Amino acid sequence: MILKDIFEQVEKNIDSLVAKQVDWAAGASREEFQAARAGKLKLHFFDREVPDEWLSDIKGKKVLCLAGAGGLQAPLLACAGAKVTVIDLSDKMLDQDRAVAERENLQMEIVKGNMCDLSMFGEGTFDYIINPPSLMYVPEPGAVFRECYRVLSKGGVFIMMAPNPINYVCDHIDDADGGYYKAVHRMPFCSTDHDDSDWIEYGNTMETYLGGLIDCGFLINGYMECQMEDITELYFMTRAVKN
């Protein structure tokens, strides 16, 4: 598939999930907004949180929520005093932010666009980029990293969340004892190589993620992992600084 077709299908897939009211598109709670306004900003990393020290100076900073619509991160950052721009491929996700911004009387720039192409933003525009899990929908994450490096100011911070390769290496094998996981896929992984559904998702190596950040010039100075209930569902989060 060509990139245009890939991203058109990804947009349709995400829009359909929002229509089904998946939990990650539900937006933040009133209590979370109140806490952010009171200086107690909390951004969730599944059942963990982005460390406070990673966001300690966020007030007044220019922040890009990259592929981060859905009424969650962007409005909370705006409540905490950041100057927020959110960009996303999905109109339905962006509609969530528009609704929350109106309800909470927040000033946010809301942009429909592709995370691989940030050409609408000038070099050194942002102090922070927050990227919730979304790189699994991109064939080549390096394109995203290069754009992030360009639009960040010197010393700017890129906080990225992504699935560990183990998410894609294993398949569940059913048996009489309840089943087990077996490593069957090599990385990199593409869902369309293994089934004919409309769902498109990519699994990348840690070399692609961490090595890609380093190759662009980022200094990685923070790392966390979150293990979900499913033993193969493991996510990681990095904090990287533009040198």
* DSSP for 150-212, written as a single string: HHEEEEEEEEEEEE-THHHHEEEE--TTS-EEEE--PSSEEGGGT--SS---EE--HIIIIIH
Q: Which residue stretches of 20-122 are H helix?
A: 30-37, 73-79, 91-104
Q: What integer pLDDT is reported at residue 15 of this predicted model?
A: 92
> For the chain, what percent of residues have pLDDT higher than 90?
90
* Token digits of residue 144: 């995203």
Q: From residue 186, give the alpha-carbon distance in Å to each of 114, 180, 191.
A: 27, 18, 12
What CATH number matches the domain at 3-165+206-242, 3.40.50.2300, 3.40.50.300, 3.40.50.150, 2.60.40.10? 3.40.50.150
Q: What integer pLDDT is reported at residue 134 of this predicted model?
A: 96
Place of tokens 């922070």: 128
* Token digits of residue 225: 């992992």
For the chain, 243 residues long, the average pLDDT of each consecutive 10-residue run is: 83 90 82 96 96 96 96 96 97 94 96 97 98 96 98 98 96 92 95 92 97 98 96 96 95
Q: What integer pLDDT is reported at residue 2 of this predicted model?
A: 66
Q: How far apart are CA 222 and CA 107, in angstroms?
A: 30
Residue ranges covered by each domain of the chain = 3-165+206-242
> For the chain, what percent of residues have pLDDT higher than 70?
99
Write down the mean pLDDT value for the chain.
95
pTM, rounded to two decimals: 0.95
